[in-house]
Structure 1
């Protein structure tokens, strides 16, 4: 099944390159960039598939039973811009440049040392014979990693100064998932990629894992009055479960409901709030207005300013020459 999907994906990628991109590169005299363009198509196409899948699932649900009417459409349009830049443009470009350089350097070091990094499949050989089980294990491990990244975003003041862009949204929809500061997104991409490399997620399964977690994240931000019940809420993160995290009840350093796909991590580590009938207002009133209603550029600039002030306060010294925290 996975190999069939991979073959179909490669065929589509190749068709787009041969029919649409390669002739344009040839006409412009840019054939030296052909290999990079081919890999870039893979990034953009993958992002487009994610957006389409999420829209088909989440938009009908928001129209069916919304928590609140869409009153601030300007803010939602900014979130849509975030999604476009994140999934089709800015972040994939930066990630592609950074990861290409790091992957080349890492591969060279590993090859010269003769060391073979351990993976989950080398530690548990049975996973090689059960690809669906292996996929489920990869999803659970990466979801666990995302839980802790999310907690660290709230725990460390410098990281929260960036993550606050995400929590400033008062008109939350499934588009809000991509509303992040660019530095926060880059850290998240490195975090996720490093864990995936460490546990040896195969290239053919990596896109499937990403889609599963991306759909779960977008769904949890959807403006839909939906709870999974007493049992279901403990098995999968619902829009109600995550909405509480975006309210004044769940945000901040001592927040609740950090899980992306599985609430079991919140359950284990004492950060779960299962009050099933609560659909509170979202947004943090302590966050500057520019982060809530400003343009994309204004929100990014506000995040940089908050980061600078946080770092300056942390490392400045008092009158006695001691660090003031």
Structure 2
């Protein structure tokens, strides 16, 4: 059944490419970019699927049992712009394609010495015969990497200056997941893409993994008064667990609950807060108002300004 779904999806992407994108590339004389844009199309369609699924799952829950209600939802509308720009997969794909080219060159150079770089499936051969188990292993390893990237975003002042764009939202919803400074997105894409290549994630599984992690993040950011219970909270990051991370008292370097999908990393490294059964307000106390309520462009400018202040010691 899984193979049938992927086969049907592949046929759909192929049809979409040959019927729409390929003729346009030919007319513009851009066929040299055909392979890269075919991969982008795969990411873009997965991104649109992710947006639809997130809306179908999260929006009814937010309407039924919200943490907060607002009359003016303009900041939420700005987050929708972030999501549409991000979910087409431009940055993760760009990083993966560029790094993949660099890796091919490096592996070719190393191959002349007779050394073959190991991958996850070469280190654990049985994974070759169990693609779903291999996919689960990739998700766990990449989630571990995302935990540490998230901690570093709070640990280093210059990185927090960019990441504070994400935390500045005082009307947090499932759209907030993709509310990031563009430079922060580039760093995240390079981090994620490099780790994916290091462990040998197949290019065809890369968008599937992104979809899984992004759906989990959409749910954890949702404006829902929801906990998964004493056991579930320790298995999967919940809206309550992650809202504590976004709470005003957790902003900056003193945060808790950094996990993206699995809270086990917070438990292992002493950054978990499973006890407080509260839903605090969100935002960045020391941030300018425009960082929370400004337009997409205004927030990007303020992020660069805060980055410059952090690098020069004035922030």
TM-score (norm 2): 0.92
Q: Is the 8 A contact 1:2 1:204 kept in 2?
A: no
Deviations 1:144-197 (A, max 9, x none): 111110000000000000000000000000000000001111110111111111
Deviation at 1:204, TM superposition (A): 3.0
Larger Rg: 1 or 2? 1
Q: Is the 8 A contact 1:244 1:280 kept in 2?
A: yes
Deviation at 1:99, TM superposition (A): 4.2
1:158 match: 158
3-state SS of the aligned residue for 2:251? coil
Q: Is the 8 A contact 2:226 2:240 kept in 1?
A: yes
2:229 match: 229
Deviation at 1:36, TM superposition (A): 4.5
Deviation at 1:19, TM superposition (A): 2.1
1:208 match: 208
3-state SS of the aligned residue for 1:313? coil
Cα distance in 2, alignment partners of residues 135 and 31 from structure 1: 32
Deviation at 1:70, TM superposition (A): 3.3
Distance 1:181 1:277, change over 3 A: same
| Residue pairs, 1:274-313, within 5 angstroms | 274-313=274-313
Distance 1:33 1:267, change over 3 A: closer
1:322 match: none
Distance 1:46 1:5, change over 3 A: same
Distance 1:52 1:157, change over 3 A: same
| Residue pairs, 1:244-259, within 5 angstroms | 244-259=244-259
3-state SS of the aligned residue for 1:253? helix
Q: Is the 8 A contact 1:62 1:222 kept in 2?
A: yes
Cα distance in 1, alignment partners of residues 110 and 77 from structure 2: 50
Distance 1:8 1:301, change over 3 A: same
Q: Does 1:241 align with 2:238?
A: no
Distance 1:37 1:240, change over 3 A: same
Aligned CA-pair RMSD: 2.1
Q: Is the 8 A contact 1:95 1:189 kept in 2?
A: yes
2:99 match: 102
Cα distance in 2, alignment partners of residues 297 and 101 from structure 1: 27
Cα distance in 2, alignment partners of residues 120 and 300 from structure 1: 38
2:110 to 108, 113, 117: 113
Q: How many corresponding residue pairs?
A: 312
Deviation at 1:309, TM superposition (A): 1.0
2:75 match: 75
136-145 vs 123-132, which moves further: 123-132
Q: What are the ranges of 5 or more consecutive residues in structure 2 without an aligned counterpart?
A: none
Q: Does 1:5 align with 2:2?
A: no
3-state SS of the aligned residue for 1:39? helix
Q: Is the 8 A contact 2:182 2:300 kept in 1?
A: yes
3-state SS of the aligned residue for 2:275? coil
2:170 match: 170
Deviation at 1:287, TM superposition (A): 1.3
Q: Is the 8 A contact 2:181 2:300 kept in 1?
A: yes
Distance 1:17 1:226, change over 3 A: same
Cα distance in 1, alignment partners of residues 28 and 145 from structure 2: 44
Distance 1:22 1:126, change over 3 A: closer
Deviation at 1:139, TM superposition (A): 1.1
Cα distance in 2, alignment partners of residues 259 and 95 from structure 1: 20
Q: Is the 8 A contact 2:13 2:42 kept in 1?
A: yes
Q: Is the 8 A contact 2:46 2:211 kept in 1?
A: no
Distance 1:19 1:312, change over 3 A: same
Q: Does 1:261 align with 2:258?
A: no
1:318 match: none
Deviation at 1:201, TM superposition (A): 1.5
Cα distance in 2, alignment partners of residues 284 and 72 from structure 1: 19
3-state SS of the aligned residue for 2:248? coil
Distance 1:229 1:285, change over 3 A: same
1:22 match: 22
TM-score (norm 1): 0.89
